[in-house]
């Protein structure tokens, strides 16, 4: 098992001030820049360990600054490919044996890319099931997104925002019990096709909230606004 942490900077919207604050107390063994995400790293004065993409959104002169650095792995792909650049980066992080993967720049004006990037959490989740638990989070200024299975405890002092929303990531999630929440549940079943918004905008009322489920995977979104 590899206990390394990997940061992926994707090509979506990343607020520089937020990124500076987020990275001020975090360290990573690998930093993967995804196409236009390289521009963000340059502004943050951070050196990537890997650069990946078809490079349709990054300036050639910017990429050229890194091409002769022997410590950086650059992987260029044809724009006509099955996987998005972000999915390629996620698979790289998995192949490196990362135990935790944090993703910035996964959201933005392209809703298709945002949804696709959220679905990548499932790829990471599945990759760790038979070997070891692999954590994965998507962050932006207002949200923290992750998947949970079986059990999760969110401490109020560590919550990312006021609102906590739960959505079924698999078609059904059974036996959902919420303790310490404004809207508790007891052995409830969520179905992606029936009452799909039931878990939206819950809040903690205790010092910590406990989420348990019997079967299935939940998408958990903590929001500040």
- Residue among 79, 1, 75 at smallest CA distance from 38: 75
Rounded percentage of the chain residues whose pLDDT exceeds 90: 77
pLDDT of residue 110: 87
Are both 89 and 198 inside the same structural domain?
A: no
- Burial of 17 (C-beta count, 10 Å sphere; 0-12/13-18/19+): exposed
Q: Are residues 61 and 83 in the same domain?
A: yes
pTM of the model: 0.92
122 and 60 within one domain: yes
Which DSSP category does 156 fall into? G
Ramachandran assignment for 195, one of left (phi > 0), alpha (psi -120 to 50 degrees), beta (any other): left
Residues with Cβ within 8 Å of 34's Cβ and at least 6 positions away in sequence, in order, are 8, 9, 10, 11, 52, 53, 85, 86, 88, 89, 105
Domain end, chosen from 75, 108, 141, is at 141
pLDDT over 70 at 148, yes or no: yes
Domain span including residue 213? 147-223
pLDDT one-digit tens code per residue, 90-139: 999 999 999 999 999 999 888 998 999 999 999 999 887 655 678 999 99
Q: Are 39 and 96 in a shared domain?
A: yes
One domain for residues 136 and 154? no
Cα separation, 112 vs 135, in Å, equals: 24
Q: Which residue has the tokens 């410590």?
A: 71
Dihedral pair phi/psi, residue 74, rounded to 5°: -115, 125
């Amino acid at each position: 098992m590899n206990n390394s942490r990997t940061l992926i900077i994707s090509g979506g919207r990343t607020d520089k001030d937020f990124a500076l604050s987020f990275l001020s107390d975090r360290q990573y063994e690998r930093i993967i820049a995804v196409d236009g995400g390289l521009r963000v790293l340059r502004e943050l004065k951070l050196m990537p360990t890997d650069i990946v993409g078809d490079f349709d959104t990054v300036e050639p002169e910017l990429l050229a600054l890194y091409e002769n650095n022997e410590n950086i792995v650059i992987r260029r792909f044809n724009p006509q490919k099955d996987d998005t650049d972000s999915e390629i980066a996620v698979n790289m992080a998995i192949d490196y044996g990362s135990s935790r993967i944090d993703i910035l720049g996964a959201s933005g004006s392209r809703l298709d890319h945002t949804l696709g990037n959220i679905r990548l959490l499932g790829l990471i989740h599945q990759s760790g099931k038979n070997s070891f638990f692999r954590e994965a989070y998507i962050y932006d200024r207002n949200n923290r997104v992750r998947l949970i299975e079986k059990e999760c405890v969110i401490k109020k002092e560590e919550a990312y925002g006021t609102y906590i929303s739960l959505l079924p990531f698999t078609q059904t999630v059974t036996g959902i019990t919420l303790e310490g929440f404004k809207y508790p549940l007891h052995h409830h079943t969520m179905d992606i096709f029936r009452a799909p918004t039931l878990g939206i905008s819950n809040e903690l009322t205790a010092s910590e909230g406990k989420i348990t489920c019997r079967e299935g995977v939940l998408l958990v979104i903590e929001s500040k606004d």
